Structure 1
Amino acid sequence: MTSRERASLEIDGIVQGVGFRPFVYRLALRFGLSGWVRNTGKGVQIEAEGDGDNLLAFSHALREEAPPLAVIGALRFEKIEPAGDEGFVILDSAKAGKGGEISPDCEVCDDCLAELFDPDNRRYLYPFINCTNCGPRYSIITGIPYDRPATTMAGFAMCDDCLAEYHDPLNRRFHAQPNACPVCGPRLSLFDREGVAVTGDPLRQTIEALKDGAIVAVKGVGGYHLAVDACSETAVGLLRRRKKRDEKPFAMLAADLDAVRRYVQCSDLEGRLLAGVERPIVLMRRLPQTPVAELVAPGNGWFGFMLPGNPLQHLLARGFGGPLVMTSGNLSDEPIAYRDDEALRMLSGIADLFLANDREIHTRTDDSVIRLYRGEPLFLRRSRGYVPRALALPGEQASVLALGAELKATLCLTRGAQGFLSQHIGDLKNAATMASLEESAGHLQRLLEITPDVVAHDLHPDYLSTVYGQELGLPCVAVQHHHAHMASCMAENGLDGDVIGVILDGTGYGSDGTIWGGEFLVGGYGDFGRHGHFAQLRMPGGDAAVKEPFRMALSALHRLHGDQLFRQPLAVCAEVQEADRPLFLKMLEKGINAPLTSSCGRLFDAVSALLSVRHRISYEGQAAIELEALAEAGSASEPYPYLVTGEAGGVLDFGPAIAAICADIAAGRSRADIARGLHRTVAAGIVDVCGRIRTASGLDRVVLSGGVFQNRLLTEDVADQLTAEEFRVYCHRLVPPNDGGLALGQAVIAGRIFRRK
């Protein structure tokens, strides 16, 4: 005799649109269970009945054998009265409660890839092939539950063959919402820059055009890319001129890992990241000699590569046969184009051809970017493939909509003990990007069924996101920029209580109204104190000093030499004409249009200009990035001198280091060794100040956050030295250290404050 029992199971997490219901169906048949499974607004609900031991084994197998794209957040198991039904069925979706999760867009699975290149398969070379284990999700979903009518596939009626697959629980395409084939699904089309259709096979014509040096705007899963032959200096140069992107590196697409390893040093971990279902861009050290055009990443020792993330990219990469530049299809400072008419309008001055299709993109999502740090992945941009996966928060809190800052904007929505960080939106410097943030905020709230109780925004009163947040009619919490960075790193590491926060970046509005960026904070989510900072420098010309690092070099020299600044035998002094020098000195002496900053980013800019690495920049962070690259070729040395003045942590003054660097320049010391010495010096100063704070406070946990901690060399120096001094060091892994991760910290701070009130 066997005991017949029945259980109700509720499963939260990423369990919709990932083949979870057919997986449950097959599992129930395997264990001889009757009952049903259905999607709800929150996740998946199951009632299963049968032998008690089999029922228990079934519940264990749900976790242990879940589909590759599923992420189970919680599984609730409750015994209920047996119903005596027979057979197991998949019911229509039901709305049961609020708060589900949605799968990110995912790479083509091996089964679909095999079919894509199988001449005998009915989907041979079909660029929209997918199944329940792969394909578009977040970018095409318009609502929940995740069913075909709530996607941009709603207008494509399935043919008989696709319908048979869709309704067969034993088929890999059972309830695969984007299911389609060449008979009934989306199709490619090719247009010129005037919007006139090009005759012939769109894919073949595109590949031939790329081989001829053309620039092609290619519609992907989350938006348009601009593609060009990566080995053609002429074609890449044309792309740079038309896109007005002088030197910022371009990402590249290669067909497979073997192809990638012809151009970069690709470790096993980097290879696994590249080949994962998320398909991020991974930054890897370039090999000394490759056929890749120098203009792809001028003056940069790293290449960013990605593997194909959708069937069309597989077809392009294999058909073309070499690496392709595959960069975001946008104008400077604007979000990636994702609507066809928008792409034609925005990119007609750049692209020669447009490879489009008739499947709409509902939510634009740019590529994710990762590099390795201390053998672990570090996000520089968390977007397609990872969004909107939930992040665990340190505890239950009020529901918050956090709006990030101005640069690298993302937003964060919280529900209970979960945070949902949006895709990369961009720099909020214009109406187009701000509109994208507003669209993303509304879409995430509808999709996740979250109604926020409170809005969090940056302390800066003039940011577009601040103005938007204050107009939403909800309670608002203004969060200091660097406090948010600290809280972000704390939250992703599951920390509570007080810590030491070393927060280094380029710009952040400080509590005292000055520009912060080299900060030593002490506190937690609820409050913080500024216990130390880098010595302040003037920023002559204000924002102009960010784009022209020579100004910061002259500011640092003025602090040492006063009005004798231009008598110094340094090349950077020649950047200001003789006639303009009195006005420049007056700016520095009187503080006219020369605000004070403690920014670490501006310190690196100053030394970059002193070494004539970069007097002017064409993209954010360029001077510091190239200084780091130079330092990597230098020899380790003793740190330059520095001072720490004041109480507690105090003011960390690198004036003595600047003086010593100038002396080394005059003596002809290697620029690479000087650059390496600066990195060692900044790391040593940070460890020194942290030691003083520990003595005063008793704290030994240190979190490292802010955009400067994208600098691998500095971050490893700081972390290694702090660890050697028996500090417990916490860095970012789940969200970027730059402003792309800031909204997470804002959300936790505001959630705690609002709950307390």
Structure 2
Amino acid sequence: MHTGPDEAHTEPVTALKRVDVHVEGIVQGVGFRPFVHSLASRLGLAGQVRNDVDGVHIEVEGAHTELEEFLTALERDAPALSEIEAVTVVSGTPAGHTGFTIAASDPRGRPHALVSADSATCDDCLRELADPADRRHRYPFINCTDCGPRFTIVRGVPYDRPRTTMAGFAMCAACAAEYHDPGDRRFHAQPTCCPACGPRLRLLDARGADLCGDPVSCAVHLMRGGRVVAVKGLGGFHLAVPAAHEEAAAALRGRKHREDKPFAVMVADLAQARLLCQVDDTAAGLLTSRARPIVLLPRLPGAPVAPSVAPANRSLGLMLPYTPLHHLLLAELAEPMVLTSGNVCDEPIAHEDADALTRLGGIADAFLIHDRAIHVRADDSVVRPISGEVSVLRRARGYAPEPLTLRRPAPRPVLACGAELKSTFCLVKERRAFVSQHIGDLENHETLRSFAEAVDHFRRLFDLRPQIVAHDLDPAYLSTRYAMELPGVELTGVQHHHAHIASCLADNGDPGPVIGVAFDGLGHGPDGTLWGGEFLRADLTSFDRLGHLAHVPMPGGATAVRQPWRMAAAYLRHDHPGLDVVRRHADRWSDVLAGGGPLTSSAGRLFDAVAALLGVRDTSTYEGQAAIELEQHADPAETGAYPASLGHGDLVVVQVADLVRAAAADLAAGAGTHAIAGRFHNGLADAVARTCTVLRDTTGLTAVALSGGVFQNVLLVERTVRLLRAAGFRVLRHVRVPANDGGISLGQAAVAAARDRA
């Protein structure tokens, strides 16, 4: 990656040399300067290293052999949390440095440096946390160069303590000695602190008054008694109760107005995780990674978790502790605990103390807080293993704001405003695409304000002034309205499902064209219908619709999203009047059909119809619930598949009503619902593979990109990918951003940049 001085190989090896080295990438806040200092000192080299607005700048001089070893080891042995993008080496004239020093950061110029994500507590810090003889024993804010808060406390770059929320905590003599000691693990670790000089923990009641006793022990005592405790984490507040305590879990669910959506569970270690779920090597690697995401895993029969934690769900979302405070709580509680976002349903996670006391006062009985401010809120990330690979469902803490690299640079800076549900935005500067942390559903003013604040912070942090702003074509989206109101920018609209496929292409570094299969809930179609089951010919600049799932009315419009039985009515019409779903809604069935509704090709609404037909879910309380529960209900061992005919014309139309009718016929004949759900999944996968084969014959395209929230379904993905590969296709799936609308902003940004290059 680096290029050394040209004359180095022609002069005597004893001659003194000097090089100026500039390192770009994630090299601030990860112990890179201490690493450089240690490396140079070990090799007997002189000079200095400092942060600047672009990364890390090194001036180093010494003998030729040692300089070559320095440049090799600089990349080979870089700190674990660093990610080097580029190393530039320029020859210079020796300045006569004596020794090697860490110089003050240079804040001049426009910021180009990267900020690392928050990282879970490392093993060395955990050993100190548990050691009664250590001065940081049981200190909830222990960290070092290898771990701790980063993105959520950073106010600006270069990454130095004065530009973080640790600025107000002056180091004590002992911490300062560690900070300035080249041989210490905390050498130039910016958040370094201890009980004598760092943040402090407090336990408050719902009125904000201090509760007596050790905050951790007292909080655990309250949880054991069934109380709900709000815990301030890295990116915001969580709400905690013991995972096996049904009364407490039910109370939390009721107070949070979260009827059915599962809660995440934090376990102390892998051994505890394996008591609750099936944990393979892929899952174990995710659980113990520095990002510490929530990992969705198959639940073991009889797992000791209260029914209210994850009702009607065969999976659990598990995560391991990622802060010292979590470790302390779990060690004292001695059992898993629910740790769910500190918010009322559909609101952003609370991250400021006063706001948490106000918004969570009706939910939490006590508040475990501290005085280290959270500058940027960040929810927990959510991932799911699929066939040994990773599917990211929510990208936030532990991943953001680390950039994705685009295949080709953007000519001008871009802001992509994303969609409405699972909102993110994306800022692009040259080849770097900064996808924001998960913001939430842009359906209220509070979430929109959080969105706008996050955009402003990213723009300042990375000194990015967008000239092009990409947005969804749906004028009702708040993200679209936000884009329209920005002054002095060039707007570009990107169709929702084109953005999905472009996101998959950008995620895989593939320019296309491909056959894009975009299956989701709903998206604005240029023909005036609601799309959601699309087969596209797509690259990064444009798309053509080649096929789709057959249109069906959506009775009652948006009401059908909340009442899946309406979609069953749309597909069944007056067939099989004796089915339970018809009898359950007999008083409204005919009226619903008579009322009509907008036409949709949505795969999500197809799943709704089958879920209602099988009695899995008639009414949804959160987005995608019926489809999620239908997947949970399906027998994964089922090999049968319902056939769906393909209509050929200008577009290939998949007659998915065939799948619903076949499921209804089997149900009327007495077949088991688990088998029927499995046959439906298999039938849809088969229809996708057959449609792509037809389209290959007409387009010559041999690569298929799968995107949209429906492709978070493990059963559907595994079966579809297997059939496509068996048919000779190269298959692209999401690996770094969600297939759902959380990845839309990356797709919009990639399209805007490609169009700007055209």
TM-score interval for Structure 1 and Structure 2 normalised by the shorter chain: over 0.9
Q: Secondary structure at the match of 2:682?
A: helix
Instruction: Report the equivalent of 1:370.
Output: 383
Instruction: Report the equivalent of 2:506.
Output: 491
- Deviation (angstroms), 1:161: 1.1
Instruction: Report the equivalent of 1:203.
Output: 216
Return the match for 2:638 from 614, 635, 643.
635
Preserved CA contact (<8 Å) 2:569 2:593: no
Matched, 1:601 2:585: no
Instruction: Report the equivalent of 2:3.
Output: none
Instruction: Report the equivalent of 1:586.
Output: 594
Identity of aligned residues (%): 50
Instruction: Report the equivalent of 2:702.
Output: 700
- Deviation (angstroms), 1:577: 4.8
Q: Distance in 1 between matches of 2:214 and 2:589?
A: 62
Q: Distance in 1 between matches of 2:472 and 2:378?
A: 23
Q: Secondary structure at the match of 2:634?
A: helix
Amino acid corresponding to residue 645 of structure 2 in structure 1: L
Instruction: Report the equivalent of 2:257.
Output: 244
Instruction: Report the equivalent of 1:561.
Output: none
Return the match for 2:562 from 538, 547, 551.
547
- Deviation (angstroms), 1:435: 0.5
Return the match for 2:552 from 508, 522, 537.
537
Instruction: Report the equivalent of 2:751.
Output: 749
Instruction: Report the equivalent of 1:259.
Output: 272
Q: Distance in 2 between matches of 1:618 and 1:584?
A: 20
- Deviation (angstroms), 1:141: 0.6
Matched, 1:617 2:617: no
Return the match for 2:431 from 401, 409, 417.
417
Q: Secondary structure at the match of 1:17?
A: coil
Matched, 1:515 2:530: yes
Preserved CA contact (<8 Å) 2:557 2:598: yes
Segments of 4+ in structure 1 off by > 4 A?
none
- Deviating more after overlay: 90-99 vs 462-471: 90-99
Instruction: Report the equivalent of 1:223.
Output: 236
- Deviation (angstroms), 1:581: 4.6
- Deviation (angstroms), 1:299: 1.3
Instruction: Report the equivalent of 1:429.
Output: 443
Preserved CA contact (<8 Å) 2:501 2:538: no
Query: What TM-score comes out, normalization by structure 2 length?
Result: 0.97
Q: Distance in 2 between matches of 1:584 and 1:17?
A: 58
Q: Distance in 2 between matches of 1:628 and 1:29?
A: 58
Query: Number of residues paired by the alignment?
Result: 743
- Deviation (angstroms), 1:170: 2.2
Unaligned runs of 5+ in 1: 559-563, 589-593
Preserved CA contact (<8 Å) 2:293 2:382: yes
Q: Distance in 1 between matches of 2:435 and 2:583?
A: 46
Matched, 1:353 2:366: yes
Instruction: Report the equivalent of 2:29.
Output: 17
Q: What are the Cα deviations for residues 378-415 of structure 1, in whole angstroms up to 9, with x where unaligned?
A: 10111100111110112011311111100000111111
Matched, 1:41 2:78: no
Instruction: Report the equivalent of 1:524.
Output: 539
Give the alignment of 1:157-556 within 5 angstroms.
157-397=170-410, 398-473=412-487, 474-556=489-571
- Deviation (angstroms), 1:262: 1.1
Q: Distance in 2 between matches of 1:497 and 1:726?
A: 17
Give the alignment of 1:631-670 within 5 angstroms.
631-633=634-636, 635-637=638-640, 639-647=641-649, 650-670=652-672
Give the alignment of 1:41-80 within 5 angstroms.
41-80=53-92
Amino acid corresponding to residue 558 of structure 2 in structure 1: D
Query: What TM-score comes out, normalization by structure 1 length?
Result: 0.97
Return the match for 1:570 from 569, 579, 592.
579
Q: Distance in 2 between matches of 1:428 and 1:97?
A: 31
- Deviating more after overlay: 421-430 vs 57-66: 57-66
Instruction: Report the equivalent of 1:90.
Output: 102
Instruction: Report the equivalent of 1:674.
Output: 676
Q: Distance in 1 between matches of 2:252 and 2:591?
A: 39
CA 1:16 to 1:710, structure 2 compared with 1: closer, same or farther past 3 Å?
same
- Deviation (angstroms), 1:96: 4.8
- Deviating more after overlay: 649-658 vs 447-456: 649-658
Preserved CA contact (<8 Å) 2:518 2:707: yes
Q: What are the Cα deviations for residues 631-677 of structure 1, in whole angstroms up to 9, with x where unaligned?
A: 1355211x222221133651111222222221111110111111111
Give the alignment of 1:113-128 within 5 angstroms.
113-128=126-141
Preserved CA contact (<8 Å) 2:424 2:436: yes
Amino acid corresponding to residue 619 of structure 1 in structure 2: Y
Q: Secondary structure at the match of 1:508?
A: strand
Amino acid corresponding to residue 443 of structure 1 in structure 2: H
Q: What are the Cα deviations for residues 39-96 of structure 1, in whole angstroms up to 9, with x where unaligned?
A: 0111101111111121111111111111111111111112222222221111100135
Matched, 1:4 2:27: no
Q: Distance in 1 between matches of 2:660 and 2:380?
A: 39
Q: Distance in 1 between matches of 2:76 and 2:526?
A: 49
Q: Distance in 1 between matches of 2:271 and 2:594?
A: 58
Q: Distance in 2 between matches of 1:724 and 1:633?
A: 20
Preserved CA contact (<8 Å) 1:634 1:674: no
Instruction: Report the equivalent of 2:7.
Output: none
Q: Distance in 1 between matches of 2:400 and 2:167?
A: 22
Preserved CA contact (<8 Å) 1:265 1:286: yes
Q: Tell me the C-alpha RMSD between the 2 structures.
A: 1.2
Preserved CA contact (<8 Å) 2:111 2:461: no
- Deviation (angstroms), 1:440: 0.6
Q: What are the Cα deviations for residues 717-753 of structure 1, in whole angstroms up to 9, with x where unaligned?
A: 1111000000111101111100111100000101122
Q: Distance in 1 between matches of 2:665 and 2:476?
A: 42
CA 1:549 to 1:316, structure 2 compared with 1: closer, same or farther past 3 Å?
same
Return the match for 2:41 from 19, 29, 44.
29
Amino acid corresponding to residue 184 of structure 1 in structure 2: C
Instruction: Report the equivalent of 2:9.
Output: none
